[in-house]
Amino acid sequence: MNAATHAWRLGLRRGWTEFVQSIRSPQDQGYYLFTAVLTVGYLWTQRDEVVDGTDLTAPTVLLPSILGALICFGMVIGPASSLAMEKEDGTLLRHKAVPHGVQGYFAGQLLFHVLGLLPQLLVVLVPSFLLFEGLMSEPTGWLTVTWVVLLGLVATLPLGLVLGGLVPSPQKLGTWGMLPILFLVGISGIFYPLEQLWGWVQVLAQAFPVYWVALGLRSAFLPDSAAALEVGESWRVLETVGVLGAWAVVGALVTPVVLRRMARRQTGSQVEAAREASMQWVR
Amino acid sequence: MTTVVEVRDLRMRYGDTDVLTGVDFHVEAGEVVCLLGPNGAGKTTTIEILEGFRIRSAGEVGVLGHDPATAPEDWRARTGVVLQSWRDHPRWTPRRLLDHLGRFFEPYSEPGRPRPHDTALLLETVGLTEHADRKLVTLSGGQRRRLDVAAAIVGRPELLFLDEPTTGFDPQARREFHDLIQRLAAAEGTTILLTTHDLAEAEKLATRVLVLAGGQIAADDTVDGLARRVEGEATVRWRVGAERRTAAVTDATAFVRDLLDTHGDALADLEVRRASLEEAYLSLVRRHESGQQDAAARLFTEVAR
């Protein structure tokens, strides 16, 4: 039995266990419910609006965009906060103390966060489709949804892992993670068209995955005529694959380096220091 | 006997501070060795270097025949580390967590040393059977610490590290924990290296005590040996008028004769106490904490002789 492969398998089991425990936990159910109520509630207030220059209702255009933002936010902040917390509370250290445990730990993290996307999508999609009509123009759009979500996943999840590996403490995640992500969501054409922003902001937004995941999802949900609303009046499928693919490749190269460094530096003293720091709020 | 841990001229420096300035010691198979010393003496640093969690500045370290800094994963399977768990795995149950961690050791099972331990038996050993299916977040501090021990021995280690295992324990939890460690050492022949600043704990558990002070090993002996070394030492307390005095002396009888000659009837509240290991150790700690590390280490060596 190869010990490293064995550890990967154990890690995947761990990911599944963590996922089951997560969807049974009131805390995590609360988070999903919160995002669902917020998203669907916002769509509801926009139900009578019609998007300028089209006959599409606002929820039809907003839903794929917001889904894109939720996916990117969840895939970055989810793993980042897990790692930031678990290098402090001793979870990672405990795995460091068993043979090939660190590999198992990261395998578990990967599967756990990938699986966590399913409830996130379901809690938004199911009520939306019950409340609003005409959200999906063609059934084949679901195929596009699948590949955009998967590509978005491999583009953004490594970002979350790297962020979690680098952030010095969970308390810092607000400034290191939340603010930049919310800023990117703000400029990525989710709530208002990208072309209303200054040129350099448009360039910045198009350098990051949020815009492209949202665009890809709009291309999946909306009729082809709606492409007229986009930059270059096109869904820019090739560019979407290119940018997200590039992020995925960079992520695949950088993430192992950062995670190895993070695991190497993990010690009992570090866990102890974090414990003491957490008891001292003001310094 | 086989040497399990071999440390030569171990040095550790953080920034401008030298924590270890040349530590030498060794641990033989089956020993229970206690690394004793005040807070900040470098006990945790030493044990983390041996565990392979921290990279030393200089010196030679061998643990189970490998340098911990570069040891392969199968070396990890032969060691156990009792971590001071805090709040990891809150949603897991003891049974699930031990089963999960134990499976990492499956590829390292050997004839005569099957790995891992059976989860149910292990839970029984550490007295957690009735709490086996509760979430970790609901366990008490003592129960969590026993789970930490179980997690450390789940892979049947040949060598077990414990870093201040009983900090924050109440007396009963401490007693139960000591019994558990003694059972482990006796039943499995596990070599154990633990750090503590509690002398009573060292006295109870250790077959040998290493005192770490001033960045070096200030004393290396059995508990009995250390106690024997301080025999003949005594503390004399007396009062002259309103002034209270204390002195540590070797020949108490002669010292008291002198006192009586000098002060005569003015001498009051005379008390002579034979020095214990604890007092010698405490004076070491006091001097260490007032910043005279080297003097303290010297004093202890002198007192101990």
Residue A192 lies in a domain: yes
| ipTM given for this complex | 0.90
- Answer yes or no: do B165 and B271 share one domain: no
How many C-beta atoms lie closer than 10 Å to residue A276's C-beta?
8
**Domain that residue B278 falls in:** 231-304
Burial of B172 (0-12, 13-18, 19+ CB in 10 A): exposed
Residue A279 lies in a domain: no
What is the residue whose two structure tokens read 């999802």? A217
A240, two tokens: 């979407």
Residue A282 lies in a domain: no
Please check whether residue B200 is in contact with residue B224, taking contact to mean a CB–CB distance below 8 angstroms.
Answer: no
| pLDDT, averaged across chain B | 86
- Answer yes or no: do B9 and B89 share one domain: yes
Please check whether residue B148 is in contact with residue B166, taking contact to mean a CB–CB distance below 8 angstroms.
Answer: no
- The secondary structure element, H or E, covering residue B163 is strand B159-163
Q: What is the pLDDT of residue B304?
A: 47
Nearest to B107 among A6, A269, A275 (CB): A6
- Answer yes or no: do B143 and B12 share one domain: yes
Q: Treating both helix axes as pointing N-terminal to C-terminal, what angle do B43-51 and A268-279 enclose, rounded to 10 degrees?
A: 130
Residues in chain B: 305
Give B87's contacts in chain A (Cβ within 8 Å).
89-90
- Answer yes or no: do B221 and B240 share one domain: no
**Domain that residue A79 falls in:** 3-273
Testing the interface with B: which of A16, A85, A93, A94 to mutate, by most B Cβ within 10 A?
A: A94
| pLDDT over 90, % of chain A | 79
Kindly state whether B110 is in contact with chain A, defined as any CB-CB distance less than 8 angstroms. Answer: no
CA distance A19 to A150: 18
DSSP assigned state of A188 = T
- The secondary structure element, H or E, covering residue A257 is helix A237-265
- Answer yes or no: do B183 and B139 share one domain: yes
Q: What is the pLDDT of residues A227-249, one digit of tens each?
A: 998 998 899 999 999 999 999 99
- Answer yes or no: do B286 and B219 share one domain: no
- Bridge-based pairing of strands B243-249 and B234-240 is antiparallel
- Answer yes or no: do B208 and B251 share one domain: no
Q: What is the pLDDT of residues A55-75, one digit of tens each?
A: 899 999 999 999 999 999 999
Domain boundary among B179, B208, B226: B226
Q: What is the pLDDT of residues A81-119, one digit of tens each?
A: 999 999 988 899 999 999 999 999 999 999 999 999 999
Nearest to A98 among B51, B53, B105 (CB): B105
- Answer yes or no: do B137 and B235 share one domain: no
Testing the interface with A: which of B97, B101, B144 to mutate, by most A Cβ within 10 A?
A: B101
B206, two tokens: 């250790």
Indicate yes or no: CB of A17 within 8 angstroms of CB of B100: yes
**Type of residue at B219:** A
Residue A280 lies in a domain: no
Q: What is the pLDDT of residue B224?
A: 74
- Give the pLDDT band of residue A255 (cuts 50, 70, 90): very high
Domain count, chain B: 2
- Answer yes or no: do B160 and B258 share one domain: no
Indicate yes or no: CB of B88 within 8 angstroms of CB of A10: no
CA distance A164 to A82: 7
- Answer yes or no: do B196 and B262 share one domain: no
CA distance A244 to A209: 6
Indicate yes or no: CB of A268 within 8 angstroms of CB of B53: yes
CA distance B26 to B33: 10
Residue A283 lies in a domain: no
- Answer yes or no: do B187 and B284 share one domain: no
Residue A182 lies in a domain: yes
Could you tell me which of A108, A84, A170 has the C-alpha nearest to residue B97? A108
- Answer yes or no: do B136 and B53 share one domain: yes
Q: What is the pLDDT of residue B38?
A: 80
- The distance from CA B5 to its chain's CA centroid, rounded to whole angstroms, is 15
Nearest to B83 among A1, A90, A100 (CB): A90
Residue A281 lies in a domain: no
Domain harbouring B19, CATH code: 3.40.50.300
Domain boundary among B198, B226, B254: B226
CA distance B113 to B103: 15
Could you tell me which of A116, A109, A102, A117 has the C-alpha nearest to residue A82? A109
DSSP class per residue in A26-55: HHHHHHHHHHHHHHHHHHHHTTT-B-TTSS
Domain count, chain A: 1
Q: What is the pLDDT of residues A157-180, one digit of tens each?
A: 999 999 999 999 898 999 999 999
DSSP assigned state of B66 = B
Please check whether residue B235 is in contact with residue B248, taking contact to mean a CB–CB distance below 8 angstroms.
Answer: yes
Please check whether residue A104 is in contact with residue A7, taking contact to mean a CB–CB distance below 8 angstroms.
Answer: yes
